[in-house]
Amino acid sequence: MASRIIVLDADPHLRPVGSVLRRVIQAAVRRTQSVLPLERQRVDMVVRYDPQSVIPEQAIGVYTPNSNLILISVDPGRGVFRRKFRLALPRTIAHELHHAVRWMNPGYGKTLGEAIVTEGLTAHFELEVFGGRPNPWDVALPKKLLNG
């Protein structure tokens, strides 16, 4: 995979954590490539300080608008960031790389149903690459309701 990781560390909020963010993302890309072939994929990953665009419980928010760009918003000043980013960021990178590949073909989806399928596939892919438990937002119903 040919990719660039661009940390917008001119912002003083990112300067202290820029190099560690870059290393964590590089490791996540390598691990994801062991499962998902990314040879044809070129993706720019831009890390920016943007507290308005993060999930508060993780201090990380990510958006993949097309097959070649992943926008990563972080808020290193939130207490939860230091506790969670080494686990949450790699899983999120795998999730978003899966989106980038799907953008090539068949795409994200144009209907709610298609988007639900896409998000479900990326959530399962994230677990395939990194294991662990699903994110709370990936589990819509408690297990006892699913088992009838």
Quick check: is 109 in a domain?
Answer: yes
Strands 69-74 and 60-66: antiparallel
The answer for residues whose C-beta is within 8 angstroms of residue 76's C-beta and 6 or more apart is 13, 14, 16, 17, 49, 59, 82
**The CATH number of the domain where 123 resides is what?**
3.40.390
Quick check: is 148 in a domain?
Answer: no
The predicted structure's pLDDT at residue 1: 60
Report the domain count for the chain. 1
The predicted structure's pLDDT at residue 14: 94
pLDDT, tens digit only, all 148 positions of the chain: 667 999 998 999 999 999 999 999 999 999 999 898 777 778 999 999 999 999 998 999 999 999 999 999 999 999 899 888 899 999 999 999 999 999 988 889 999 999 999 999 999 999 999 998 888 888 877 777 766 5
Q: Alpha-carbon distance 73 to 60, whole Å?
A: 6
Quick check: is 44 in a domain?
Answer: yes
Quick check: is 63 in a domain?
Answer: yes
Angstrom distances, CA of residue 146 to CA of 13, 98, 141, 143: 43, 26, 7, 5
